[in-house]
């Protein structure tokens, strides 16, 4: 019986393409808009929260000369040839600080050759034992020490694990980081000592302003003692000539920016949804009205009301679910592109997406599809099926 | 299959127009149609005979009165009452075989009775056209498909709403003969609405002449002529004249109707 209903539904759909087509489009556009905004928002919000949770540092310190804003420095970590003296670490370590660690950024040379890293990539030197940011993102088992010639790859780095050379040094991949949506995804992490040595060998001294790389750091990350007010700490290191960023307030600012942007997008999506739902109502009405005679005829040959319902629910279900599946999948795919696009204009961490999150958003898209379609189809369908067969037969087409 | 016994008891039906005015269509009609009878409903155009047929089919609910099929009250359509319309009303995207099989599928008995599909197609003379789409068939062939589709459900009652009204004279005569064969073979009760007096005389065992709107039973003619009936026999002509007289005298309609 279901095969008959299915065949009936399919034939009806394909031969009434002028009615079913717009219906399909309405569902497609509305669900796509909602899934796109919802997924993008969750992805961005997840990225901020992940960064905030994982990053145990409270304050970030970096040179005044860096041409980046706080959020960009925190999330994009764009490697710039701007360094500060390493002795700043000692001056930042006062009674308020639990520990102070430094990072040294560099980039691979833009040369290509056999067994070398082909593209210019960011290198991040860290003090692995004391690290406050990178280590918490490590996939799999923790690594106690990061030996010389060992590297950790960011989530987006795709290079061979064997025979890889970085700055003319053969390296071994010791681990891979989770995708964070921050600069770490496109970075290769080495021990800071190793990276400074590579910098000394491969880059001219002028690159570091004539100073020795061993005496320089790119930034410092400070973890404060329990209960210390970050503002108080910043006041206590006022004399240190570097820019100090409160990590939590920067994350709040980014989150606020995300909220403003996504409120705008959500508003647009809501308007699209409203317009599409209005169109959907009208399309459903038209679809069912044009079938009165068919309903009447089916009833006249003894097909019971429940089976007529089934037939129409199946037909409408095929159209809207096909549109819903397509819209949800497209919305999820496009969300990533939207985030990337937004990141070009503002510093935005991008949370990694688990299979569960994808399922939730996909399922949400389908739920929205079913709800909107059920609401718009219920009234005209009930009215049509409850109509006396004779009245139904004198209206609509077969 | 055995024919059904239809009892119509004091049935009335009126329609309401857009201005709220009431238009009575059927007024206190009572009929007793015995199992296996072939009844033709005749009357002036628009008198309400089709309304009565649709009430029997369950497509319309009467305002008052009751109907029974084998002593069971009729409320709504049912597959024990097959319907054939003037327009064959075939599903245009289904071929002959699929159209005929649809009734079985709708009743969820296709698996058990699928061999009947070919049998009924053969019976209505459409062998070789199983895969043809309706728009590739002549009007008569489409109507035969509609007969097969109605009969495959093995109804106790076959309701026919001017089934030959849109056909040419040759096809009509051929289908009338086939209808008689089918009726004799299956033994169902047939109720047919027609405007054609000769058709009623050739087919029916009982002819119910109805009055102008609202329809009431004007006169019932029993037709005991033996099948196959000769259209030009004196008995047929005499019966035709009697029917026409009832129609003509009461309503002032010409004999052509």
- Residue B251 confidence (pLDDT): 47
Q: What's A179's DSSP letter? A: P
Residue with tokens 């420095």: A73
Q: What's B2's DSSP letter? A: P
pLDDT in tens, A328-371: 999 988 887 887 777 666 655 665 567 788 888 889 888 988 88
Q: Where are the domains of chain A?
A: 2-51+254-393, 64-241
User: Is the peptide bond preceding residue B214 cis, with omega within 30 degrees of 0?
Assistant: yes
Do residue A388 and residue B149 have CB atoms under 8 angstroms apart?
A: no
- Which residues make beta-bridge pairs with B219? B209
Q: What's A83's DSSP letter? A: -
User: Which of B106, B110, B159, B160 to mutate: most A Cβ within 10 Å?
Assistant: B106
- Chain A residues touching B60 at Cβ < 8 A: 388, 390
Secondary structure (DSSP) of A103-159: EEEEE--S---TTB--S--EEEEE-GGG-SSSGGGB-SS--S---TTEEEE-TT---
Distance from CA of B83 to the nearest CA of A (A): 7
Closest CA to B223 of B248, B197, B247, B246: B197
Which secondary structure element, helix H or strand E, spans residue A299, and what is its range?
Answer: helix A292-300
* CA gap A309, A329 in Å, rounded: 29
Number of CB pairs < 8 Å for A and B?
57
Distance from CA of A381 to the nearest CA of B (A): 19
Q: What's A178's DSSP letter? A: P
Do residue A300 and residue B59 have CB atoms under 8 angstroms apart?
A: yes
* CA gap A327, A53 in Å, rounded: 32
* CA gap A280, A327 in Å, rounded: 15
Distance from CA of A279 to the nearest CA of B (A): 28
* CA gap B146, B88 in Å, rounded: 6
Q: What is the dihedral of CA B103, B107, B111, B113, to 10 degrees?
A: -60
Do residue B105 and residue A4 have CB atoms under 8 angstroms apart?
A: yes
- Residue B255 confidence (pLDDT): 43
Closest CA to A282 of A380, A386, A395: A380
- Chain A residues touching B25 at Cβ < 8 A: none
Structure tokens at B148: 């097969």
- Chain B residues touching A397 at Cβ < 8 A: none
Sequence-ordered strand ranges (E) for chain A: 59-62, 84-85, 97-107, 122-126, 150-153, 164-166, 169-176, 187-191, 216-217, 219-224, 243-246
What backbone torsions phi and psi does residue A191 show, to the nearest 5 degrees? -70, 145
* CA gap A11, B106 in Å, rounded: 16
- Chain A residues touching B105 at Cβ < 8 A: 1, 4
Structure tokens at B100: 């005929």
Could you list the pLDDT tens digit for every one of the 398 residues in chain A? 667 777 777 777 777 787 788 888 888 888 898 888 888 888 777 777 766 665 677 888 888 877 777 666 666 555 566 888 888 888 898 888 888 888 888 876 655 444 444 556 788 888 888 887 778 778 877 788 888 888 888 887 877 666 677 877 888 888 888 777 666 777 888 998 999 998 888 888 888 888 899 999 988 888 888 888 888 898 898 888 888 888 777 767 777 777 787 888 888 888 888 888 888 888 888 878 777 777 877 877 777 778 888 888 888 888 888 889 999 999 988 887 887 777 666 655 665 567 788 888 889 888 988 888 888 888 888 887 777 777 777 665 55
- Residue A349 confidence (pLDDT): 60
pLDDT in tens, A287-318: 787 777 778 778 777 777 788 888 888 888 88
Do residue B89 and residue A297 have CB atoms under 8 angstroms apart?
A: yes
CB count within 10 Å of CB B145 equals: 26
Mean pLDDT of chain B: 86
Structure tokens at A196: 């400074």
Q: Is the pTM of this model over 0.80?
A: no
Select from A299, A301, A307 the Cβ nearest to the Cβ of B103: A301
Q: Give the total residue count for chain B.
A: 257
Calculate the alpha carbon distances from A161 to A115, A140, A201, A258, A302 in Å: 11, 16, 23, 37, 70
Q: Does B187 touch chain A (CB under 8 A)?
A: no
- Chain A residues touching B80 at Cβ < 8 A: 302
Do residue B59 and residue A297 have CB atoms under 8 angstroms apart?
A: no
* CA gap A131, A143 in Å, rounded: 12
Structure tokens at B11: 């049935």
Within 13 Å, how many C-alpha atoms sit on residue A331's CB side?
A: 34
Give all strands of the β-sheet with B64-69 in edge-to-edge order: B22-33, B6-16, B64-69, B72-73
- Chain A residues touching B61 at Cβ < 8 A: 388
Select from B61, B80, B83 the Cβ nearest to the Cβ of A300: B83
pLDDT in tens, A104-122: 888 766 554 444 445 567 8
pLDDT band for position B33 (50/70/90)? very high
User: Is the peptide bond preceding residue B166 cis, with omega within 30 degrees of 0?
Assistant: no
Q: Does B213 touch chain A (CB under 8 A)?
A: no
Q: Does B110 touch chain A (CB under 8 A)?
A: yes
Structure tokens at A152: 């950790």
Q: Does B149 touch chain A (CB under 8 A)?
A: yes
Sorted by sequence, the CB contacts under 8 Å of residue A394 that are 6+ apart come out as A293, A296
CB contact at 8 A, B42 and B49: yes
Do residue B106 and residue A300 have CB atoms under 8 angstroms apart?
A: no
Distance from CA of B104 to the nearest CA of A (A): 10
User: Which of A8, A291, A300 to mutate: most B Cβ within 10 Å?
Assistant: A300
Do residue A303 and residue B106 have CB atoms under 8 angstroms apart?
A: yes
CB count within 10 Å of CB B246 equals: 19
Secondary structure (DSSP) of B48-112: SHHHHHHHHHTSS--SEEEEEETTEEP-S--TTEEEE-SS----TTS-HHHHHHHHHHHTT-HHH
Do residue B60 and residue A388 have CB atoms under 8 angstroms apart?
A: yes
Q: What is the dihedral of CA A273, A276, A277, A282, to 10 degrees?
A: 170
Q: Does B158 touch chain A (CB under 8 A)?
A: no
Do residue B93 and residue A298 have CB atoms under 8 angstroms apart?
A: no
Closest CA to B174 of B139, B129, B206, B127: B139
- Chain B residues touching A389 at Cβ < 8 A: 58-59, 76-77
What backbone torsions phi and psi does residue A6 show, to the nearest 5 degrees? -65, -45
User: Which of A390, A396, A397, A398 to mutate: most B Cβ within 10 Å?
Assistant: A390
Sorted by sequence, the CB contacts under 8 Å of residue A28 that are 6+ apart come out as A323, A326, A327
Residue with the bigger pLDDT between A342 and B63: it is B63
Give residue A47's Cα distance to chain centre: 7
Q: What's A72's DSSP letter? A: I
> Which segment of A240-254, B35-49, B110-124 scores lowest on mean pLDDT?
A240-254
- Residue A326 confidence (pLDDT): 92
Closest CA to A315 of A301, A298, A332: A298
Secondary structure (DSSP) of B197-245: HHHHHHH-SEEEEEPSSSB-EEEEEE--PPSSPPTTSHHHHHHHHHHHH
Q: What is the mean pLDDT of residues B32-58?
A: 89
Q: Reduced to 3 states, what is the DSSP secondary structure of residue A372?
A: helix
pLDDT at position B206 over 90? yes
Q: What's A349's DSSP letter? A: -
């Amino acid at each position: 019986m279901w095969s008959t209903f299915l065949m009936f539904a399919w034939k009806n759909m394909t031969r009434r393409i002028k009615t079913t087509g717009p219906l399909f489009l309405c569902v497609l556009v509305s669900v796509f808009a909602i899934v796109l905004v919802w997924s993008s928002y969750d992805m961005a919000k997840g990225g901020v929260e992940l960064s905030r949770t994982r990053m145990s540092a409270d304050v970030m310190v970096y040179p005044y000369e860096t041409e980046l804003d706080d959020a960009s420095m925190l999330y994009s970590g764009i490697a710039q040839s701007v360094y500060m003296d390493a002795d700043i670490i000692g001056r930042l370590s006062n009674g308020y600080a639990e520990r102070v660690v430094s990072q040294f950024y560099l980039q691979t040379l833009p040369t290509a050759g056999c067994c070398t890293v082909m593209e210019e990539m960011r290198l991040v030197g860290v003090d692995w034992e004391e690290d406050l940011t990178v280590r918490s993102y490590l996939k799999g088992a923790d690594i106690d020490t990061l030996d010389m010639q060992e590297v950790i790859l960011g989530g987006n780095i795709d290079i061979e694990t064997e025979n890889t050379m970085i700055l003319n040094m053969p390296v071994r991949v010791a681990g891979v980081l989770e995708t964070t949506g921050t600069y770490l995804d496109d970075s290769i992490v080495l021990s800071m000592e190793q990276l400074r040595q590579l910098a000394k060998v491969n880059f001219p001294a002028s690159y570091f302003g004539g100073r020795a790389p061993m005496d320089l750091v790119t930034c410092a990350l400070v973890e404060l003692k329990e209960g210390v007010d970050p503002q108080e700490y910043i006041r206590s290191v006022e004399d240190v000539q570097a820019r100090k960023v409160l990590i939590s307030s920067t994350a709040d600012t980014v989150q606020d920016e995300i909220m403003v942007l996504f409120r705008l997008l959500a508003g647009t999506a809501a308007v699209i949804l409203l317009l599409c739902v209005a169109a959907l109502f009208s399309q459903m009405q038209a679809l069912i009205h044009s079938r009165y005679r068919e309903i009447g005829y089916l009833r006249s040959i003894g097909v019971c009301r429940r089976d007529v319902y089934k037939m129409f629910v199946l037909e409408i279900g095929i159209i809207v679910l096909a549109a819903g599946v397509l819209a949800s999948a497209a919305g999820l795919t496009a969300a990533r592109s939207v985030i990337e696009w937004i990141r070009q204009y503002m510093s935005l961490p991008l949370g990694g997406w688990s299979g569960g999150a994808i399922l939730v958003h996909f399922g949400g898209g389908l739920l929205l599809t079913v709800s909107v379609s059920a609401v718009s189809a219920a009234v005209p369908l009930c009215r049509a099926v409850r109509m006396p067969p004779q009245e139904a037969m004198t209206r609509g087409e077969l | 299959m055995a024919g059904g016994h239809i009892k119509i008891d004091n049935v009335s039906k009126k329609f309401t127009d857009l201005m709220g005015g009431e238009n009575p269509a059927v007024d206190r009609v009572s009929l007793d149609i015995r199992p296996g009878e072939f009844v033709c409903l005749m009357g002036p155009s628009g008198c309400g005979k089709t309304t009565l047929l649709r009430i029997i089919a369950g497509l319309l609910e009467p305002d008052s009165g009751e109907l029974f099929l084998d002593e069971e009250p009729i409320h709504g359509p049912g597959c024990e009452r097959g319907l054939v319309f003037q327009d064959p009303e075939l599903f245009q995207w289904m071929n002959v075989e699929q159209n005929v099989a649809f009734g079985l599928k709708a009743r969820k008995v296709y698996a058990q009775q699928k061999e009947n599909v070919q049998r009924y197609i053969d019976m209505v003379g459409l062998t070789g056209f199983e895969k043809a789409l309706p728009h590739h068939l002549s009007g008569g062939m489409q109507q035969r498909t509609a007969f097969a589709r109605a009969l495959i459900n093995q109804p106790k009652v076959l309701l026919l709403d001017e089934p030959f009204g849109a056909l040419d004279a040759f096809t009509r005569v051929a289908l009338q003969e086939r209808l008689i064969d089918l009726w004799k073979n299956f033994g169902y009760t047939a109720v047919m609405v027609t405007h054609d007096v000769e058709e009623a005389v050739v087919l029916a065992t009982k002819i119910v002449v109805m009055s102008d709107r609202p329809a009431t039973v004007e006169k019932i003619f029993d037709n005991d002529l033996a099948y196959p009936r000769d259209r030009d026999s004196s008995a047929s002509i005499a019966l035709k004249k009697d029917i026409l007289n009832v129609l003509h005298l009461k309503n002032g309609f010409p004999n052509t109707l």
